[in-house]
Structure 1
Amino acid sequence: MTAERVLNGPELHPAAGTPVRRLVVLLHGYGADGTDLIDLARFWQVLLPDAAFLAPNAPEPLPFQGFGGRQWFALDERTPTEYRIGAEASQPVLDRYLDEALAEFALDDSALALFGFSQGAMMALQCGLRRKMPPAAILAYSGLLPGADRLGGVQKQTPVLIVHGKDDDVVPSYHAAAAHRALSETGIDADLHELPGLAHSIDDRGVTLGGRFLQKAFSSQP
């Protein structure tokens, strides 16, 4: 972690000490922090030996004293309007963080993948679809697409993986199908996997799907 970055959190760099040629940024859910996702990197590091994995802590602490954890934006009403406004408001901070991290490793967005879980998935979609240069991949797990009716002008080159548990009682799985439909109708290559028997979590199936998706997306980049 360098002092210049606007956000901080745990990181995992190439085990062999080789130069960083890919960057995977892991965006945690509401009430968690970067440590909640960094262990995913240990599974994917074998598949992506030249990648660095960064798991920044969201910019805001939860408003409830004693609960700990962070949020990308406040959740009070949990309405589509709140999701859209919150994601839009938080996007500039995440964009700045990504710009700083890419500059640090002398990379551009073609070497970047965004992974998000729950609220982090909202941020991965909000930010990744609106980067000036298309990232290599966006992976959205157990989340939803903020501003699904306002996709005019988004870039359409980045492939998107949507993974969601059918038994999710926090963010119901119909949000995954709705996101897939909206992205596909916009002309974005979106791949949907609804996993039976899975609640609001990530299991081995999701880890495997994500690893394969990242490998394929990065292999198509120079």
Structure 2
Amino acid sequence: MSSHQPLDSDTVLWSADAGDRAGRPLLVLLHGYGSDERDLFGLVPHLPEEFVIAAVRAPLAPPFPTPGYSWYAIDGLESRDPVHVTASAHRLLAWTDAVAGRLGEGPGATHPAVGLLGFSQGGAVSLQAMRLDPHRFAFAVNLSGYATPGALPRDAELAEVRPPVFWGRGTHDDVIPPFLVEHTTEWLPRHVELSGRVYPGLTHSVSEQELADVRVFLEKRLADVGSAAD
């Protein structure tokens, strides 16, 4: 169990009522900088209905006049320290401890599997959370995000587990610095089972084609959960 303060459960948006969540795989949505839980929750109609979907709110308020919330600061020298990405990832782990309980089949299990879908900062936090606990999450979807530079103690363990990760980004994304894209391109294949696509002309956003590809990826993950339960 994590000793870090969890995310605010009162702000979470759910796709299903409390009585209709247990026993179904959970997909957690993590929004980007300056946004909130309502942003990615708009994707719910495009995602497989077998998932229980929870859109969480990042814990920090960015400097005025930027609206919304952030997972970590992006301005100043201190923002380059990966410890801030890790801190938010710990808070995500603490929230899944509180909400999902023990994962898997059998007594006490709330969800047979938990996956992550993050955009930009949310994608970076998703990958960081997998690195902190390689067995916690069944998969991750990283949209216009990146892998945070710097080693973590369980990276070698993650490379053995090799969870499925979808990474989608656009050729015209001018928000994520090129050195982070290069690092992620090298890092992901060495640590996860990578799939994904680079979308011509796409900016720092999500396209209809990318959503269609994400749905295919998620349907495959549902098949994985079903196979593990048999």
Normalising by the smaller structure, the TM-score range is: 0.7 to 0.9
Q: Which amino acid aligns with 2:166?
A: L
Alignment partner of 1:92 out of 90, 93, 100: 90
Quick check: 1:168–1:198 contact (8 Å CA) kept in 2? yes
Gaps of at least 5 residues in structure 2 are 1-5, 103-107
Quick check: 1:113–1:137 contact (8 Å CA) kept in 2? yes
> After TM superposition, where is structure 1 displaced by more than 4 Å over at least 4 residues in a row?
17-20, 148-151
1:38 aligned onto 2:36: no
Corresponding residue for 2:14? 11
What are the residue-to-residue correspondences of 1:3-152 with 2, within 5 Å?
A: 6-7=7-8, 8-13=11-16, 20-44=23-47, 47=48, 49-64=49-64, 66-77=65-76, 81-82=80-81, 84-103=82-101, 106-108=109-111, 111-131=113-133, 133-147=135-149, 149-150=151-152, 152=155
* Count of residues in Structure 1 that have an aligned counterpart in Structure 2: 211
Distance 1:71 1:81, change over 3 A: same
TM-score (norm 2): 0.80
Alignment partner of 2:171 out of 152, 166, 169: 166
Alignment partner of 2:194 out of 175, 190, 194: 190
Per-residue CA deviation, residues 17-44 of structure 1 (Å, 9 max, x unaligned), is 5755111100000110011100111111
SS at match of 2:101: helix
Report how far residue 132 of structure 1 moved: 5.2
Report how far residue 159 of structure 1 moved: 0.7
SS at match of 2:28: strand
| Aligned residues with identical type, % of pairs | 26
Give the whole-Å Cα distance in 2 for the aligned partners of 1:124 and 1:6. Answer: 14
Gaps of at least 5 residues in structure 1 are none
Give the whole-Å Cα distance in 2 for the aligned partners of 1:93 and 1:19. Answer: 22
Alignment partner of 2:209 out of 185, 192, 205: 205
Report how far residue 80 of structure 1 moved: 8.5
More helix by share: 2
